[in-house]
Amino acid sequence: MSDDSRAIAAAVLGAVGGAVVGYLLFTDRGRALRRELEEAIEGTTEEFNSLRSAVQKTADLAHEGWKLLNDAVGEVSGEPARLDRTRQTAPF
């Protein structure tokens, strides 16, 4: 792509972006559309926050379940059992 075509593309994208912003800010129908979009975005944000909360509660519940399972099996620490590697030699 040459420099001239890039400049033309940038000018066209700038003009389209300016037209959209002008429509949303300065026309009655644009303002109404902008308000509807804002309400939809707020609703979506609330839904995502609710989903995040539900996932966090599920993760907390799973963590508690693992702790109870480990206590029932007899593993007191939350770390998995490790092999004794004090006698292992260096591989190189």
In sequence order, what are the residues at sequence separation of 6 or more whose Cβ sits closer than 8 angstroms to the Cβ of residue 75?
A: 81
Rounded CA separation 29/62 (Å): 49
Residue 77 phi/psi, 5° resolution? -80, 155
pLDDT of residue 3: 86
For the stretch 6-37, pLDDT in tens is 999 999 999 999 999 999 999 999 999 999 99
Percent of the chain's residues with pLDDT above 70 = 80
Residue 4 has pLDDT above 60, yes or no: yes
In sequence order, what are the residues at sequence separation of 6 or more whose Cβ sits closer than 8 angstroms to the Cβ of residue 81?
A: 75
For the stretch 59-68, pLDDT in tens is 999 999 999 8
From residue 81, alpha-carbon distances to 47, 64, 70 in Å are 40, 19, 11
pTM of the complete model beyond 0.85:
no
